[in-house]
Amino acid sequence: MRSQYLLITCVCFWLPLVSFIISVASQKSTTGPGNVIEGNVFINGTTSIGRIDDDFVCATLDWWPPEKCDYGTCSWGRDSLLNLDLNNIKFLNAIKAFSPLKIRLGGTLQDKVIYERTGNGQPCDPFVKNNSEFLGFSQGCLPMSRWDELSVFFKKAGAVVVFGLNEISGKTIDSQGSAVGAWNSSNAESLIRYTVNNGYKIIRGWELGNELSGNGIGARVSADQYASDINSLQNVVQNIYAGFKVKPQIVAPGGFFDATWFTEFIKKAPKSLQVVSHHIYNLGPGVDDHLIEKILDPSSLDSTSQTFSSLQSILKNSGTQAVAWVGEAGGAYNSGHNLVTNAFVFSFWYLDQLGMASSFDTKTYCRQTLVGGNYGLLNTSTFAPNPDYYSVLLWHRLMGNKVLSTRFSGTNKIRAYAHCSKKTKGITLLLINLDGNTTVQARVSTENNSGVTKNSSMHEIQIPRTRFGTMHRVRGSKRVNDTRKEYHLTAKDGDLHSQTMLLNGKILNIDSSGLIPPLIPIDVNQLDPIIVAPFSIVFAQIPYIKLSACN
């Protein structure tokens, strides 16, 4: 007995020194092939710093016809709202897997869409490419027969819809690009009334306009006029949905953030405005050959934090009840970049955006696109999931409403975010390793109301190998039977351009009937550090960490 006691005492005595050496080594370590470092995730569990919607995950469907081309490449195919194959079982199953998926219908051409009015005798023609026209296309029309098909499909798929309305209706565009005049609501009113009269209960929100804030894209509307137009939309919605216990949200402006413009708009917008939406394409044009370098650069990823912070501050100081949404985000504008924005590497950018947006109390984040262009969650022609689809499906299933303050020490190449877990006890931690040469062994420390920081105790250190990298296995706890669930996402053959994603080493593929594969975790002893392999993503569902913020 005495010799065992002495052994334990000795190990415990050396523990602080071992931890100190590891900590110093992690700070001084140089990146190289097979490099292994240790770091710490610090989570403040005293209170949450934000709260996201249950249907935080959102994806867009656009109006672009097949003739939409960028840099000599036409990447949209038949994925427009006007010609999308609604009978494709893969498409249906991809949406149903979210239960529900929020879908925003809109995009650049929404301000050139009119809605068919039955019985008025006017033709309802599709978009026609015409470079002399505003936005490069003629006016297009949504037939009510197509709206019927879309509405029935979305109900079947269990989706909720945010519809982007035409804000240019009734306005004239002057030589300076300003859209002048009041919004003519009559055509939008006919669509909204048709939707209600036909019992289509899919609408979560009506959004007015696309990228007309600030300097605008193609055209712009002043903040004062936009606020007045929103008031008109609110009156229309209140009138048509009179008697409805729950009414759709009013969403605007669906444009790029401009602090001066947004401040004025929010100040003058009616108090009934529920959502302030903005767009993000922070990586630049899709033609850029340096997109991957930007995605792997922490400072580049951090560039949008100022936008989130500024909008959050404006909303807090304005006294409005409106909340922030990202209404459209594709990373790289002009349809993205093939084998980058639809490949494994883009999950680094995408999941980091979800984590960052959440930490600034953004309620919904809409990805451009669900399908279409080179940045779809689904393949443009086959509807098979691209890697980002699986990344965001895991987010949707694991990350709960409450957002926790999280930071990582050890390397700036690890991006760390944590939420209270969704539908289970504990927390879910997201770790993204932007380093292709370094395996990171992450330990979690938490702080509760008492201000006491808790960490895993270490008594006996072993270093076995796993297919995800070298792992410190720690034994000696009274709770060795407690486990966490981990989801390790990697690219096939380690190729960042790959459109095939692996979950815990196994390829994710839909089956012959188009069903989304089960996303099965591995169980890991609670005392083992979280191993984040080079160029990998880890979701760790940790039930044994109980924080006051998650009560």
Please tell me which residue in 328, 447, 460, 486 is annotated as part of the active site: 328
- Alpha-carbon distance of 113 to 161, in angstroms, equals 17
Q: What is the CA radius of gyration of the chain?
A: 25
- Alpha-carbon distance of 184 to 172, in angstroms, equals 11
- Alpha-carbon distance of 381 to 280, in angstroms, equals 25
The predicted model scores a pTM of 0.90
Q: How many CB atoms lie within 10 A of CB 90?
A: 19
How far is Cα of residue 483 from the mean position of the Cα atoms in its chain?
28
CB contact at 8 A, 42 and 455: no
Q: How many CB atoms lie within 10 A of CB 158?
A: 15
- Alpha-carbon distance of 232 to 513, in angstroms, equals 46
- Alpha-carbon distance of 409 to 532, in angstroms, equals 14
CB contact at 8 A, 160 and 204: yes
Reply yes or no on whether 328 is catalytic.
yes
DSSP code at position 492: G
In tens digits, the chain (551 residues) has pLDDT values of 434 433 333 333 333 323 322 332 333 334 445 799 999 999 999 999 999 999 999 999 999 999 999 999 999 999 999 999 999 999 999 999 999 999 999 999 999 999 999 777 789 999 999 999 999 999 999 999 999 999 999 999 999 999 999 999 999 999 999 999 999 999 999 999 999 999 999 999 999 999 999 999 999 999 999 999 999 999 999 999 999 999 999 999 999 999 999 999 999 998 879 999 999 999 999 999 999 999 999 999 999 999 999 999 999 999 999 999 999 999 999 999 999 999 999 999 999 999 999 999 999 999 999 999 999 999 999 999 999 999 999 999 999 999 999 999 999 999 999 999 999 999 999 999 999 999 999 999 998 754 444 554 332 223 333 444 333 333 334 444 589 999 999 999 999 999 999 999 999 999 988 999 999 999 999 999 999 999 999 999 999 999 999 99
- pLDDT at position 458: 31
Both tokens of 387, joined, read 């890697």
Reply yes or no on whether 264 is catalytic.
no
Please tell me which residue in 211, 264, 293, 460 is annotated as part of the active site: 211
Q: Phi and psi of 501, rounded to 5°?
A: -110, 145
Closest CA to 223 of 213, 209, 210: 213
Q: What angle do CA 360, 428, 204 make, to 5 degrees?
A: 55
